[in-house]
C-alpha cells in the first residue's frame, strides 16, 4: 500500500497514510515505538515499531479492552484519547486519558508483551492528553490539557507532581499556561522534555485542522513559561502540522513526528527534521529570515548510525508499512483489525484458514453504525480497493453479513437470509453528533437484490469489493479559517458471485467519523426478532486483499 521509503536514501511524507491520531513516540536503544489514540475501538492504543522512523509495523496493543463497562457498546468520540509513552528505569509507561473517566497508566517491561491492567490515577472528567516526566533528582511530574466539553474551559495546561513510581499523583495541581491569554487558543497535547537545563513542553495550538506547533520553555518545571511557534503550514500543502513527538537518533539527530488531519482518511503521520537555534527548536525547514519551519514533502532518511551494507539487510531493516491483507492463517486475529467496541470471545474464531464470524444479536433500533461487532481496519492509502471473499453456507434465518464502511456517512452491502431466499441489502446512513455530547442518530434505507436460489447450497463465495477513489480537492472553512487542498473521496461497494464480474451496489461521499477516519470491514448479525429452529449462524471470511488503484 502506502510506502514512505523511496529506497534511494530519501523518504516521502506522510510516513503513514493511515489514521494514527495524536502520535507519541520514543527511542529505546536502536528501537522506536509509537502509539496513537484509539477512542472506543478495541483492542486499544496501537503500538508501532520502527528501526529508522520511516518504516513502521503494528506490533502490539497496550489494552485488549477499553477500561470501564460502558465500552461494551460503541461510544463514538469517547474512550482513549491522545496517549503518551515513556521509558524509565527499565519500564515502559503509557499514560492515556479518557475524558469522561480520568487519567490512566499501564506499564510493561517488554513493549511486545502483555501490558499491566490500567490504573486510574486521576479519576474524573476534564483532563486530557497527559504526559509524564522523570527529572534527574528522581521526582516525577505529569502535564495535561483540558477538554472544554467536560470541564467548561479549554486552552489551559496543568502540571502536577507524581509519585516516583508514576502510579499516583501528589501535591497540588498548578495551572502553568493559559493559551487564551497568549494567542495560543486550543493549546493541548503537551509533551514534556528537558534539554540544557530548560524544561520544554511541545504543544499544538490553533485546532486540529488549522493549527501549528508551539513550544514552551522554562528553567522551573512549574513555570513561568515563555513560548514560541516553531512550525506552521506556511506554503506547504500540510494543514495542521502539529501534535506529536520529539525523538532523536543514536547519531544525535533530532526529528519530530506529527499528524495532519486530511478529513475522511483521518489523521495521518509525518516526519520532520528538527534542529535547535538559541535553545529553541525549529521543526521542518525554515525559509530565510523565518523563525519557524515548514513541513517537508521529501527529505533524506534519518541517520541511524548504520552503513549502507547494514541497511541492505531487509530482514532487520525492511521497507514496509502496517499490514492490511489477511488470509487468516495465523493463530490470532491480525493486528490491523479493531472492533467497534470491546469484543466478546464468542464473536469469532480462526479455523481452517478462515475467519469465522458468528452472528451476534442486534439490539432493537440500533443501526449498523452502532453494531458492536463491526470488525474494522483503517484506510491504508489515499486510494485503494479491498476485496473480501466470504462464504455464507453457515447462515441461518435472520442472519445478515457483509461489508461495511464506517464514518459519519456510512454504508454497508450485506447478504440476509430470509426463509429460503438470500437477498443483498444496500444500507446507507448518516451519523449525527452534537458538538459536545457524542451520540448517534441514524436513518437507514435498504434496497434488496435477490441472489440465485441455489447459490448458498453449492457452497459458493460472495465477493465484496470496497473501493476508495479521490475525485478531486476542495476548500473547507473551519471556524472561518480556510483549509485548502482537502481531498474528496468517493466510496463504492460492489459484489460478485465469481470474483470477476462485479455488480455495483452503492456509491457515497466519504466523511470522517467522530475524531477518526473512515474505516472499512466486515460484520455478521442476527435479527433477534426472528426465531430460527437452528439458532444463529455464521459466515466464513476466506481472505481480505488490498490493491492500489
Q: Active-site positions?
A: 22, 188
The set of residues, in sequence order, having a beta carbon less than 8 Å from that of 77 and lying 6+ positions away, is 39, 40, 433, 438, 514, 515
The neighbour count for residue 88, using CB atoms within 10 Å, is 15
> Given CA atoms 277, 14, 40, 329 in this order, what sign does their dihedral have?
negative
In whole angstroms, what is the distance from residue 97 CA to residue 471 CA? Answer: 37
Beta bridge partners of 178: 156
| 476-480: long-range pairs with CB below 8 Å, 24+ | 476/209, 476/263, 478/207, 478/209, 478/210, 479/207, 479/210
Q: Nearest-CA neighbor of 405 among 513, 327, 515?
A: 513
Residue 236 has φ and ψ, to the nearest 5°, of -80, 170
Residue 381 and residue 17 in contact, taking contact as beta carbons nearer than 8 Å = yes
Q: Which residues fall within 8 angstroms of residue 1, CB to CB, at 6 or more apart?
A: 17, 321, 324, 380, 381, 384, 546, 548
Output the CA torsion sign for 115, 121, 123, 128.
Answer: negative
Distance CA 51, CA 494 (A): 39
C-alpha cell at 47: 503500538
Query: Which 3 state secondary structure label does DSSP give 180?
Result: helix
DSSP 8-state secondary structure symbol assigned to residue 452: P
3-state secondary structure 493-515: EEEECCCCCEEEEEEEECCCCCC
Which residue do the cell numbers 449525527 mark?
432
Do 205 and 182 meet the contact criterion of CB atoms below 8 Å apart? Answer: no
Taking residue 496's Cβ as centre, other Cβ atoms within 10 Å add up to: 16
DSSP reduced 3-state for 263: helix
**Among residues 256, 258, 380, 257, which one has the least CA distance to residue 321?**
380
Helix (H, G, I), strand (E, B) or coil at 373: coil
Q: How many C-beta atoms surround the C-beta of residue 251 within 10 A?
A: 10
Strand pairing category for 102-108 and 91-98? antiparallel
Q: Distance between CA 86 and CA 540 in Å, rounded? A: 41
Contact yes or no for 382/4 (Cβ under 8 A): no
Q: Give, in order, the Cα–Cα distances in Å from 543 to each of 125, 329, 392, 409, 460.
A: 42, 9, 14, 26, 14
Segment holding 148, helix H or strand E = helix 148-151
Intra-chain end-to-end CA distance of the chain, in Å = 10
CA torsion angle for 194, 195, 198, 200 (degrees, to 10)?
Answer: -50
Amino acid at each position: 500500500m502506502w510506502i514512505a521509503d523511496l529506497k534511494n536514501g530519501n523518504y516521502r511524507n506522510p510516513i503513514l497514510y493511515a489514521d494514527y491520531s495524536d502520535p507519541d513516540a520514543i527511542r529505546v536503544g536502536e528501537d522506536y515505538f509509537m502509539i496513537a489514540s484509539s477512542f472506543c475501538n478495541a483492542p486499544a492504543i496501537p503500538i508501532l515499531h520502527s528501526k529508522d522512523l520511516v518504516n513502521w509495523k503494528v506490533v502490539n496493543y497496550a489494552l485488549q479492552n477499553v477500561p470501564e463497562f460502558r465500552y461494551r457498546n460503541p461510544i463514538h468520540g469517547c474512550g482513549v484519547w491522545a496517549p503518551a509513552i515513556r521509558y524509565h528505569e527499565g519500564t515502559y509507561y503509557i499514560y492515556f486519558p479518557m475524558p469522561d473517566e480520568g487519567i490512566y497508566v499501564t506499564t510493561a517491561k517488554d513493549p511486545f508483551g502483555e501490558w499491566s491492567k490500567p490504573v486510574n490515577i486521576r479519576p474524573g472528567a476534564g483532563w486530557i492528553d497527559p504526559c509524564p516526566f522523570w527529572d534527574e533528582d528522581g521526582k516525577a511530574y505529569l502535564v495535561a490539557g483540558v477538554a472544554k466539553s467536560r470541564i467548561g474551559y479549554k486552552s489551559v495546561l496543568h502540571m502536577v507532581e507524581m509519585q516516583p513510581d508514576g502510579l499516583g499523583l501528589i501535591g497540588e495541581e498548578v495551572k502553568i499556561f493559559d493559551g487564551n491569554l497568549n494567542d495560543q487558543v486550543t493549546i493541548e497535547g503537551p509533551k514534556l522534555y528537558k534539554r540544557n537545563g530548560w524544561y520544554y513542553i511541545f504543544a499544538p495550538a490553533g485546532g486540529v485542522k488549522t493549527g501549528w506547533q508551539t513550544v514552551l520553555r522554562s528553567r522551573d518545571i512549574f513555570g513561568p513559561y515563555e513560548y514560541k511557534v516553531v512550525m506552521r503550514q506556511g506554503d506547504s500543502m500540510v494543514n495542521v502540522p502539529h501534535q506529536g513527538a520529539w525523538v532523536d537518533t543514536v547519531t544525535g539527530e533530532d526529528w519530530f513526528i506529527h499528524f495532519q488531519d486530511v478529513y475522511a482518511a483521518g489523521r495521518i503521520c509525518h516526519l520532520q527534521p528538527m534542529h535547535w537555534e538559541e535553545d529553541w527548536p525549529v521543526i521542518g525547514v525554515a525559509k530565510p529570515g523565518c523563525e519557524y519551519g515548514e513541513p517537508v514533502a521529501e527529505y533524506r532518511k534519518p541517520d541511524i548510525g548504520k552503513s549502507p551494507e547494514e541497511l541492505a539487510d531487509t530482514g532487520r531493516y525492511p521497507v514496509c508499512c502496517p499490514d492490511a491483507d489477511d488470509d487468516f492463517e495465523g493463530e490470532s486475529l491480525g493486528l490491523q483489525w479493531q472492533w467497534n467496541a470491546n469484543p466478546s470471545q464468542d464473536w469469532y474464531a480462526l479455523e481452517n484458514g478462515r475467519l469465522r464470524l458468528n452472528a451476534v444479536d442486534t439490539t432493537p433500533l440500533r443501526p449498523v453504525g452502532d453494531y458492536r461487532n463491526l470488525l474494522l481496519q483503517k484506510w491504508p492509502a489515499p486510494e485503494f480497493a479491498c476485496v473480501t471473499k466470504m462464504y455464507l453456507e453457515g447462515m441461518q434465518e435472520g442472519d445478515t453479513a457483509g461489508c461495511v464502511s464506517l464514518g459519519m456517512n456510512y454504508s454497508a452491502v450485506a447478504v440476509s437470509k430470509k426463509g429460503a431466499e438470500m437477498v443483498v441489502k444496500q444500507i446507507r446512513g448518516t451519523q449525527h453528533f452534537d458538538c459536545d455530547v457524542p451520540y448517534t442518530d441514524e436513518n437507514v434505507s435498504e434496497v434488496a437484490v435477490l441472489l440465485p436460489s441455489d447459490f448458498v447450497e453449492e457452497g459458493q463465495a460472495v465477493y465484496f469489493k470496497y473501493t476508495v477513489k479521490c475525485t478531486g480537492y476542495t476548500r473547507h472553512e473551519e471556524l472561518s479559517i480556510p483549509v485548502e487542498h482537502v481531498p474528496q473521496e468517493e466510496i463504492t461497494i460492489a459484489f460478485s458471485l465469481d470474483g470477476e464480474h462485479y455488480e455495483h451496489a452503492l456509491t457515497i461521499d466519504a466523511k470522517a467519523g467522530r475524531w477518526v477516519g473512515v474505516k472499512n470491514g466486515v460484520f455478521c448479525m442476527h435479527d433477534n426478532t426472528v426465531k430460527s429452529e437452528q439458532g444463529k449462524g455464521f459466515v466464513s471470511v476466506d481472505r481480505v486483499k488490498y490493491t492500489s488503484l
